[in-house]
Chains A and B, each alone.
Chain A
Amino acid sequence: MTGATAAADAAFIRCTRLTKVFRRGDTEIVPLRDLDLEIPRGAFVSLMGPSGSGKTTLLNLLAGLDGATRGELWIDGQELSRLSRDQLARWRAKSVGIIFQSYNLVPVLTAYENVELPLLLHDLSRRERHERTMAALETVSLVDRASHFPRQLSGGQEQRVAIARAIVADPPLLLADEPTGDLDRVSADLVLDLLGRLHRERGRTIVMVTHDPLAAARAPLKLHLDKGALESTRVDSVSMEGARTAAGEVAP
């Protein structure tokens, strides 16, 4: 193992001078500038900041949906910039579950079929896929809605289906982009409870972008981004200890 790899393994997520630059005509936009960040395995992190601060850009880089312009991004010992497009796709299928603000369910597929999607990429039999899909739906308490299409579900139910889809392949990392942004308070609390449970009981590492202070309050580790740089870090030590304990007890 190289020194860099060993360093990267010390943290589950490690960003070193991570920079993303977009060009719009002659204008250069830098949503992330030389970001250094370490997130331990099993942490539940909220990522806050004003619009345009680089939160979603960082989340996209963490998800392997976009590539950094400069710098290094290590996740679970893997440097993402070294992966090809196809390797990144395989990595996403195995390592990350993404929850979007607008749910992003496939409208012509049922809740069951939406949740099953990531499992189609794994070498599992139909029966194994069924068992795992039903277990994921059970986790989000939507077994009775398995045959419903997204248009037949409420916003909160759609987001829970999206969470089931994110966790069904058992990835160690969950990324949530404003998961409660389109939900009423009751539904938002349900979703946040669910994320909290996944963190506490299953030791998932969760990074959640949010504008909602109540949602951010659920996360033990709070990061604040502004103008592409980390402005502040606040750790709820009790909760973080709980997170580390959970991470230690439950295999990722």
Chain B
Amino acid sequence: MILLRTAALSLRMLARSRVRAALAVAGIAVAVFILCAERAVHSGIVEATAANERDTRLIVYRANRFCPFTSRLPERYADEVASIEGVKSAVPMQIVVSNCRASLDVVVFRGVRAADAARGIAARVRFVEGSLDAFLARGDGALVGSALAARRGLKPGDRLSAAGITVTVAGIVDADGPQDRNACFVQLPFLQAAAGGVQGGEVTQLEVEVADPAKLREVATLIDARFATDLAPTTTRPEKAFVARAAADLVAIAEFAGFLGVGALLAIFALVANAIVLSLEHRTRELAVLQSVGFPGKALAFGIVVESSALAFVGAVVGAGAASLVLGLGRFSLGAEGVLVEFRPSGVTAAASVALALAVGIAAGLIPAIAASRKAIVEGLRAA
């Protein structure tokens, strides 16, 4: 009973110290915002690059080329790949990006033949607005991924211009993978004509679906062997391995961001500890008075830990909420060499960040709480 009443008293006193509480909460919120953003980058990288046993997609690229501007494959390769045992489908795809370097707002055009639209697009997306027929009905029609549409505020009928190409939005599509959620699918002939430096009959890559996920590597080897002595030798990788290689710079950035996450946690610890220690120094006499009234040291220590936990919790909720809002509304994706990594807010990440901040808050308040509760009352009463 005394513990609960002391906790309630501590929270009331904290709420009345608005400036102190607000400053501590603001600092913690910023740290948790950084933590959530870092976790979003991390989970985006994992989502885009971590292979799993259900993956069935291969990317066939020109050997020793690492950029969509330099990878050139004959369109006819698609038919030859389709005939390889274990291949379910092969779709030639032209990739044109608005920015080949790392950028937060990259538009990736994916040119697909009309004949491949059903299996190359419709089979892997869900239509949010518009239809495949509407897409095929006009030469400059585009199916825009949901993340790109949200970022650019696009709806069917709007026009999108990037990399010198202007398309008309025929539909909005959602997908499980970040590459498709951020893509702008257009018809291949249109893209080959609209993009400078792209020749008819050539594409950037082939996207191959294999029948058996267990044979992903085996099929990749067969494809590369088929074209090893051809005019345009290939390098075939599972899509996520391809993304991991293409986005190696982003992975490095994400690893660095991991340090920011650790830094954010340390910042939360330091902020809570600082707020509590400063507050206790300022309230030495107040605590001594409470002890003189009869509050046991343990109850006061509990109250102080409740206070530090409350600061951490409120700061974490504000920070995680702000991060979810910013990341959710912004729909940011970081692109490099035509592959994209999304920074999406996640309820699990937000909850984990709040829990982590709370744990750090408790830990940060513990030592000052114990020290304060053990301080001699008489000394505390003499404090200024």
Contact = CB atoms under 8 A, between A and B. Distances in A.
Interface of A: 60, 63, 65-66, 85-86, 89-94, 98, 100, 104-109, 113, 117-118, 120-121, 123, 165, 169
Given A86-B298, A104-B381, A65 B16 contact: no
B289 A66 contact: no
Contacts of A66: 376-378
Given A66-B377, A66-B378, A89 B291 contact: yes
Interface string B272-301: 000000000000011001111111111000
A86 B293 contact: no
B1 interface: yes
A165 B293 contact: yes
B5 A63 contact: no
A92 B378 contact: no
A65 B381 contact: yes
B381 A100 contact: yes
B294 A121 contact: yes
Contacts of B122: none
B286 A106 contact: yes
A92 B1 contact: no
8 contacts: A60-B378, A65-B292, A66-B378, A89-B297, A93-B294, A106-B289, A120-B6, A120-B295
A183 B17 CA distance: 28
A63 B292 contact: yes
B17 A108 contact: yes
Contact of A85 (B12, B285, B297, B378): B297
B162 interface: no
Interface in B362-379: 376-378
Nearest to B373: A85
Contacts of B6: 120
A64 B291 CA distance: 10
Given A66-B377, A104-B381, A109-B13, A117 B297 contact: no
Contacts of A85: 296-297
Interface of B: 1-2, 5-6, 9, 12-13, 16-17, 285-286, 289-298, 376-378, 381
A113 B294 CA distance: 15
A234 B292 CA distance: 30
Contacts of A104: 285, 289, 292, 381
Contacts of B292: 63, 65, 92, 98, 104
Instruction: Tell me the dominant secondary structure on chain B's binding face.
Output: helix
Nearest to B287: A106
A108 B289 contact: no
A105 B292 CA distance: 12
A113 B11 CA distance: 13
Q: Interface centre among A92, A106, A107, A165, by most B CB within 10 Å? A: A106
A237 to B, nearest CB: 34
A92 B16 contact: no
A118 B13 contact: no
Given A104-B285, A108-B17, A109-B13, A121 B293 contact: yes
Contacts of A63: 292
Contact of B296 (A86, A94, A109, A169): A86
A170 to B, nearest CB: 13
B9 to A, nearest CB: 7
Nearest to A85: B297
Given A86-B298, A89-B294, A104-B381, A123 B1 contact: yes
Contact of A89 (B1, B289, B295, B376): B295
B2 A121 contact: yes
Contacts of A107: 286
Nearest to A113: B12
Q: Interface centre among A65, A66, A98, A105, by most B CB within 10 Å? A: A65
A120 B381 contact: no
Contacts of A65: 291-292, 377-378, 381
Nearest to A65: B377
Given A109-B16, A117-B295, 11 more contacts: A65-B381, A86-B296, A92-B293, A92-B294, A98-B292, A100-B289, A106-B13, A108-B13, A117-B290, A118-B294, A121-B294
A123 B286 CA distance: 23
A90 B6 CA distance: 14
A113 B5 CA distance: 13
A121 B295 contact: yes
Contacts of A123: 1
A89 B296 contact: yes
Contacts of B5: 120-121
A42 to B, nearest CB: 22
Nearest to A116: B9
A81 to B, nearest CB: 16
Q: Interface centre among A113, A117, A120, by most B CB within 10 Å? A: A120
B297 A90 contact: no
